[in-house]
Amino acid sequence: MIIRSEDSMAGCQKAKKGMRKIKEAKEEWVEEQSNSIDKEMTAGSIMKASIIIKALTKISQSKDSVKADADGNPITTALNR
């Protein structure tokens, strides 16, 4: 039998509410991007539309590199770019 305290239930509800807000914001952003693509395609600006699509579908890569310390153990450091 699981017994939950009022504090943990309230924390869980806050977390769910926060996740819901994040999801809604993401959906709104995707809708805006979709509208931008549609607008550019309608205007005949295929190049601008393809740039937006490319940015949306781009797989981001990590900017970290793995280096070794004096003992040969790997150390991960962020690159300054």
36-74 pLDDT, tens per residue?
999 999 999 999 999 988 888 887 666 666 677 778 787
Q: How many distinct helices (H) and strands (E) make up the chain?
A: 2, 2
What are the percentages of helix, strand and coil residues in the chain, rounded to 5?
60, 10, 25
Instruction: Give the per-residue pLDDT at 4.
Output: 65
pLDDT tops 70 at residue 78 = no
Mean pLDDT of the residues in the chain:
81
- For the chain, the domains span 6-78
Quick check: pTM over 0.85? no
Predicted confidence band of residue 19 (pLDDT cuts 50, 70, 90): very high
